[in-house]
Amino acid sequence: MATAAVLAATLALFLRAAAATAATAAAEADRIGRLPGQPPVNFSMYSGYVTVDAAAGRALFYWFIEAAGVPAESAPLVLWLNGGPGCSSVGYGASEELGAFRINADGRTLYLNPYPWNKVANMLFLDSPAGVGYSYSNSTSDLYTAGDNKTAHDSYNFLVNWLERFPQYKHRDFYITGESYAGHYVPQLSQLVYRNNKGIEKPILNFKGFMVRTQIFMNLYLLLMFCLLISVEMIGWKCGN
């Protein structure tokens, strides 16, 4: 009996160690050594593909920038989504807005962004949905059946699978943020995470909240511009919707 218990415990330990090593190896394969023209930094970055639908061959691309200035081991995990639909979070959010770097005018080198969000959080930038940025699908039909609901489910699958690669972020305080059309993506993904977490005592996606920027004001502004630019009859048609 005792021997069997010890054997079982040893096996469990071994399996856990093997799982941890495998996860780390998958993450290590995604580690970014140094980007072209990048200044030296003291935080880690990773990027790569996470399959969200194996049958369709659909995979989403991410760029993960760990926290600096605050300990990455305790700082929250924050997902950032650009909108569009069709805007790359890697191309816009990460490279022009809140990422660690900005691109110099020479188009070849980078400088440190003075206001990067990774000063307070571990920042996960996701190209979403498939077809945007580096994210892709091997099924052409996917590009014609995109929509907010599918985008939310793909992003959810991405997060769950990504956490298998980065298990140290399971149960970490988690926030979903974004701007523009992500004013649709963010609440819909938040709702999905919230619903799937219901009744689970310690969910791996430890969802704490979401934040969006500009969607309503953008819409009002665009609608106003549109209404100013078209005829009175057209206003009745468009603004009546």
Ligand X SMILES: *[C@@H]1O[C@H](CO)[C@@H](O)[C@H](O)[C@H]1NC(C)=O
**If you write DSSP's letter for every residue of 22-79 in order, what string do you get?**
HHHHHHHHTB----TTPPP-SS-EEEEEEEEETTTTEEEEEEEE--SSS-TTTSPEEE
* Minimum CB–partner distance for residue 43 and ligand X (Å): 7
Is position 39 an interface residue for ligand X (rule: CB under 6 A)?
Answer: no
Q: Which is nearer to ligand X, 60 or 77 (CB)?
A: 60
57 binds ligand X (CB under 6 A): yes
79/177 Cα distance (integer angstroms): 6
Given 45, 59, 123, 163, the residue binding ligand X (CB under 6 A) = 59
Q: Which residues are 177's β-sheet partners?
A: 80, 211
Structure tokens at 132: 């945007």
Contact yes or no for 134/127 (Cβ under 8 A): yes
Nearer to ligand X among residue 41 and residue 235 (C-beta): 41
212 scored as a contact of ligand X (CB under 6 A): no
**Residue 69 touching ligand X (CB under 6 A):** yes
Mapped onto helix, strand or coil, the DSSP state of residue 179 is: strand
Q: Measured from the CB atom, is 92 or 158 closer to ligand X?
A: 158
Dig out the tokens for 86 from the structure: 């069709």
Binding of ligand X by 104 (CB under 6 A): no
153 binds ligand X per the rule CB under 6 A: yes
Binding of ligand X at residue 145 (CB under 6 A)?
A: no
The yes or no reply on residue 68 touching ligand X (CB under 6 A) is yes
- Residue with smaller CB distance to ligand X, 107 or 147: 147
Residue placing its CB nearer to ligand X in the complex, 112 or 230 = 112
Residue facing ligand X at closest CB distance: 57
Instruction: Find the binder of ligand X among 44, 102, 146, 150 (CB under 6 A).
Output: 150
Looking at the Cβ atoms of 21 and 138, the one nearer to ligand X is 138
Strand-strand pairing, 77-81 and 173-179: parallel
CA distance 219 to 180: 9
User: Contact between 51 and ligand X (CB under 6 A)?
Assistant: yes
DSSP 42-56: SS-EEEEEEEEETTT
Nearer to ligand X, 127 or 179 (CB): 127
Is omega for the bond preceding 167 within 30 degrees of 0, making it cis? Answer: no
Instruction: To the nearest 10°, report the CA torsion of 118, 122, 123, 128.
Output: 180
Residue 75 binding ligand X, by CB under 6 A: no
Burial class (CB in 10 A: 0-12, 13-18, 19+), 119: middle
Check residue 138 for interaction with ligand X (CB under 6 A). Answer: yes
Q: Which residues lie below 8 Å from residue 191, measured CB to CB, with a gap of 6+?
A: 152
State in angstroms the smallest separation of the CB of 140 from ligand X: 12
Positions touching ligand X (CB under 6 A) are: 42, 51, 57, 59, 68-69, 138, 149-150, 153
